[in-house]
Each structure stands twice: as C-alpha cells, then as structure tokens.
C-alpha cells in the first residue's frame, strides 16, 4: 500500500494499493470514531463491490446502511441527489456519522455533495473504483451535481476524511472507462510533469497502475494544497475542461467525461498553438497521448455550438472566462478571455 497525504484545510491520507476494499473497515477505523455509516454507490458498483465493503465495515463494528442509484452521468441530477438526502435522513444518520462514496466520479461527486449538505455537513470517505475517480475526482474536495444549464453547476468544497483506492477494482472496468481515467492522467502530466508524460508514453501503464495513480494524486495534492478553493493555481486542473464540458453538454451528457476532456485538451492545444500561447509541437504531444490511450480527438460539434455551451460554464466570471493553455510540456497557465476572445478561441480550436 502506498499513501499520499493531501494537505488542504484538513489533512487526509489517500491509500493506494491492491485488496484495499477488503481492508476498508480496518482503514476507516483509523479515520473516524463513528460507528454508523451510509455507503452510497451506483447499481453497477453495488453488484461488484458493495458486499465486500459492507462486510469489512461491519467486521470492524460499523453499522452500515446501503443506498444505490442508477449508474451513469444521467443520474448526476437534483432528483437523485435529493433521494440520497432523504435516504440519509430515513436512516437516522446524525452529524457524527459518516458517508462512504463507493464508485466512480459520479458516485464520489454526488455522495460528497450529499455529505457536504446533509445536516450542514457530515464526514465522508471516498472509495474510488474507476481510474478517473482514483486519479482525480476522489481527491481535492470538489463535490457537485449537474443542472440542466450545465455540468457541476451546484456543488460545494468538502474534503473527505480519507481516500481508499483499491487498484484491483480496475480489473472489472470497461476499456472505455479505463481510457477516460487516462484522459485526466494525461492532463496532469501535460500541466505539471513532463517526466510523467514521458513515463506514460513509454511504460506499460496497466502494469504500473499503482504508480500511475500515486503520481496523479501527488500532482493533484500539490495543486490543491496551494489553492484549495480555486482562486488561482487550481484553475490549471481545468485544462481541456471549458470546451470538454461544452462537448458533454451538447451531447446531452452521453459523451463520457474523460472522453470529452480528451477532445477538449486537443481543442485547447490547437487553439493555443494557433493563437501563439503555446509553442509548436504542443498539439502533436496531446494528440499522441490521446491516440496511445485510444481517446477520441475529433470533436463532433461546431464552434457556435461549443461557444453557446461554454458561456454557461461556471468558470465564467461575468464577462470573462479563464482558459488553460500549455506554456510548454509540463507547465500550464490561465489566460483570461472576454466573450469575444472566447469566441475566437473556440473558432481557432476546430
């Protein structure tokens, strides 16, 4: 087992390794004195992993209530979130009890938001089962649901007490979802670590998956430790996301998040290179990584469709929006654009 500490407003460990779901009870006992919890998961992960997590928690003396919602991004809405809150209340959870978010980024973001808001905030533990959740969404405390107007438009910053990442869970992950996790992994390498980019391009990542997750978490922990509430540096984690979210919205949330981010990174790199924010060769580096991990690189939407969706993005600040560009491989910065600038950026992206 490898452990990375996240030093945000509260410090917490991220445990990474094989067989950790069976050890959930033992690990959780070190994070909380509470003996009652609600495990929140989706219906796919419920069938695969809920029994072993519940058993492990019960063996450690924890009373467990289990709640599953239909798998997929389409569930990341206010009705399903409301159902979670009602479940927590019906289960009689008190402010000293805790929730467990078991699953991918959807379960993590939603259960995290329910934990952030139920009785004005209870503790929760992240147990990511997708590569995307392990490498990105379970760390850093961003929780959210989607609204009809766009992605993650209602949410809260609420750091987990602990993250338990069992890398064995990736064995049941469909190829498409593994690739989605590689998109956020490539993003971390592109914005923060050229050496990690070379590692990803040369090494057999599946065989080195514990190290891949650890490096992702280290990069994310370093950024979040510096700027937990996204006032500055944390914005670089949104590389590829302004147009990626616009793709997700245009698709009615049927394009998976990681795949939309891959296309969004290609679009951002192309626009930034054409507008001279990034050096020549940046787009090729992004394309090469996306191809290596079988991620889509062609955006099916037009510039006006992307622009219309992007201006409702929460990263917009009045009449301006920050987009992330690569200054070189492994280094990123934000560029503030007015709405006309965003329109030109979107046109240059295609």
Interaction site with ligand GLY (CB under 6 A):
136, 140, 142, 234, 237-238
Tell me the C-alpha distance between 113 and 108, whole Å. 8
CB of 176 to ligand NAD, least distance (A): 8
Rounded Cα distance between 26 and 56, Å, is 8
Nearer to ligand NAD, 132 or 342 (CB): 132
Give the pairing type, strands 63-69 and 320-328.
Answer: unpaired
Partner from ligand GLY, ligand NAD, none contacting 172, C-beta within 5 to 8 A by type: ligand NAD
DSSP 236-249: GGGTTHHHHHHHHH
Q: Which range in 11-19, 41-49, 78-86, 341-349 contacts ligand NAD by CB under 6 A?
A: 41-49
169 binds, among ligand GLY, ligand NAD, none (CB under 5 to 8 A by kind): ligand NAD
Total interface residues for ligand NAD by CB under 6 A: 33
153 in contact with ligand NAD (CB under 6 A):
no
Specify whether the CB–CB gap between 191 and 330 falls below 8 A: yes
Describe the chain by its helix, strand, coil percentages, rounded to 5.
50, 20, 25
Convert 27-48 to b/e letters by CB count within 10 Å (16 or more is b): bbeebbebeebbbbbbebbbeb
The gap between the terminal CA atoms of the chain, to the nearest Å, is 43
CB of residue 137 to ligand GLY, shortest distance in Å:
7
The smaller minimum CB distance to ligand GLY, of residues 15 and 142, is found at: 142
Q: Residue 44 binds what, of ligand GLY, ligand NAD, none (CB under 5 to 8 Å, by partner type)?
A: ligand NAD
222-230 long-range contacts, CB within 8 A, separation 24+? 222/192, 223/192, 224/6, 224/8, 224/139, 224/140, 224/141, 225/6, 225/7, 225/8, 228/8, 228/9, 228/140, 228/141, 228/157, 228/159, 229/157
Q: Answer for the pair 143, 116: CB distance below 8 angstroms, yes or no.
A: yes
Interaction of residue 96 with ligand NAD, rule CB under 6 A? no
Q: Which does 129 bind (CB under 5 to 8 A by kind): ligand NAD, ligand GLY, none?
A: ligand NAD
Strands 320-328 and 331-338: antiparallel
234 binds, among ligand NAD, ligand GLY, none (CB under 5 to 8 A by kind): ligand GLY
Nearest approach in angstroms of CB 197 to ligand GLY is 18
Work out how close the CB of 302 gets to ligand NAD at its nearest, in angstroms, rounded to a whole number.
23
Stretch that binds ligand NAD, among 79-87, 129-137, 197-205, 279-287 (CB under 6 A): 129-137
Q: Residue with the closest Cβ to ligand GLY? A: 237
Reading the block at residue 34, the tokens are 């509470």
Q: Nearest approach, Cβ of 258 to ligand NAD (angstroms)?
A: 5
* Contacting residues toward ligand NAD, per CB under 6 A: 42, 44-45, 48, 71-73, 76, 103-107, 109, 129-130, 132-133, 136-137, 140, 142, 151-152, 169, 172-173, 177, 180, 184, 256-258
């Amino acid at each position: 087992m490898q452990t990375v500490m996240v030093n945000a407003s509260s410090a917490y460990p991220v445990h990474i390794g094989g067989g950790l779901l069976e050890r959930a009870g033992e690990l959780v006992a070190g994070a909380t004195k509470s003996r009652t919890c609600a495990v929140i998961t989706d219906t796919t992960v419920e069938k695969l992993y809920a029994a072993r997590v519940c058993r492990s928690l019960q063996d450690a003396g924890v009373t467990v209530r289990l709640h599953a919602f239909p798998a997929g991004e389409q569930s990341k809405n206010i009705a399903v979130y409301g159902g979670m809150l009602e479940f927590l209340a019906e289960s009689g959870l008190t402010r000293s009890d805790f929730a467990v978010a078991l699953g991918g980024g959807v379960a993590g973001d939603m259960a995290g938001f329910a934990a952030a808001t139920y009785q004005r905030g209870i503790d929760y533990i992240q147990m990511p089962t997708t590569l995307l959740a392990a490498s990105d969404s379970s760390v850093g405390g961003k929780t959210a649901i989607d609204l009809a107007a766009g992605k993650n438009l209602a949410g809260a910053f609420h750091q987990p007490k602990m993250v338990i990442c069992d890398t064995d869970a990736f064995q049941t992950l469909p190829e498409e979802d593994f690739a989605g996790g590689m998109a956020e992994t490539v993003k971390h390498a592109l914005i923060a670590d050229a050496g990690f980019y070379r590692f990803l391009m040369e090494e057999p990542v599946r065989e080195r998956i514990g190290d891949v997750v650890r490096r992702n978490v280290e990069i994310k922990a370093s950024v979040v430790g510096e700027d937990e509430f996204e006032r500055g540096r944390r914005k670089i984690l949104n590389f590829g996301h302004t147009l990626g979210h616009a793709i997700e919205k245009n698709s009615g949330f049927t394009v998976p998040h990681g795949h939309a981010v891959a296309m969004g990174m290609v679009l951002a790199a192309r626009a930034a290179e054409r507008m001279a924010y990034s050096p020549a060769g940046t787009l090729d580096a992004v394309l090469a990584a996306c191809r290596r991990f079988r991620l889509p690189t062609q955006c099916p939407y037009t510039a006006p469709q992307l622009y219309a969706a992007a201006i409702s993005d929460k990263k917009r600040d009045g009449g301006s929006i920050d987009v992330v560009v690569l200054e070189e491989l492994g280094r990123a910065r934000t560029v503030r654009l007015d709405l006309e600038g965003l329109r030109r950026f979107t046109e240059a992206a295609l």
